[in-house]
Amino acid sequence: MGSVRWAFRCGSWTPSRSEWLFAARCVQPEEKERIRQFVFAKDAKSAMAGRLLLRKLVCEKMGIPWSEIRLQRSSRGKPFLAAPAKVSSGSDWSWSFNISHQGDYAVLAAEQGLQVGVDVMKITMPGSSSVPDFFRVMTRQFTAHEWSAIQSAGSERQQLAAFYRHWTLKESFIKAIGTGLGFNLQRLEFHLASDALTKGRALRGTKMHLDEEEEEQWTFEESLLDADHHVAVALGPADRAASATRPASLPPPPPPATFTLLSFSELMASASPLTEEDPADWDQFRVKAEAPQRQREAQIST
């Protein structure tokens, strides 16, 4: 069994011309074109980092040469690895992987022999409403038990932290099973671990109830990348169809893994170019505003 937890801080990445042009050469042409379409630099950087994290994982852990990696998306947008025309003898296809990017980070979680989903969220104040008004809009996303935990958390910031903690847990599960937006989130109810989340430590102990029944075959890891960013990883049976008939006493999951923060050079350590350099990639990127004005003002105020 193996575990990978990687994070890249896109928010503080100010790519040089050479960095951006090299990164653009190392992703598939259709991925590069999709990244070009983002209006804001923040989104383009996050998308680029996400694709590079996936390719790094497939190359270094699954043993598939960078030039042979072919990533595709399911009908619901979940990335998956398409089999190359020629499978290398050293390739390891037992890995499941998932990425998320929001706030200042792109993250990747991968696991051997288990289904995996990951979600990261930044604690942000509602842009155009009060915290109570924001919660009212989101009422149907959580159960009464979860709202009780959120609204009893303390100050408004602590309530928002509890809100985003619950949200990352739900999204990590949805992403693991690949269901997408059609899943009724009120079917899920999380009972949080009693230990406080702290940076640099992965917490395991939160339990999920699905349709009011505790799901014993799913494990959730929670951690803080920093004071503002929650991340949750969902780990479940690799074969969902067989999960209902498998014994309750599954082998214990591996110890909880903390996220390793990668530098740009570490992110690109195994990368090799797939296309020729196109100066237009930099020309289009450098004129993009970093983020919408409202987001920039919110970042300044916090």
In which residue ranges of the chain is pLDDT below 50? 241-248, 296-302
The predicted pLDDT at position 129 comes to 83
The predicted pLDDT at position 84 comes to 64
What is the CATH architecture of 3-301? Alpha-Beta Complex (3.90)
DSSP the chain: --EEEEEEEGGG----HHHHHHHHHTS-HHHHHHHHT-SSHHHHHHHHHHHHHHHHHHHHHH---GGG-EEEE-TTS-EEEEPPSS--TT----EEEEEEEETTEEEEEEEESEEEEEEEEE----SSS-HHHHHHHTGGGS-HHHHHHHHTSSSHHHHHHHHHHHHHHHHHHHHHHT--TTS-GGGEEEE--SSPP-BT--EE--EEEETTEE-TT-EEEEEEEETTEEEEEEEEES-HHHHTTS-S-PPPPPPP-PPEEEPHHHHTTT---SS---HHHHHHHHTS-SS-HHHHHHHHH-
The predicted pLDDT at position 182 comes to 72
The predicted pLDDT at position 248 comes to 47
Which pTM was predicted?
0.90
Boundaries of every domain in the chain: 3-301
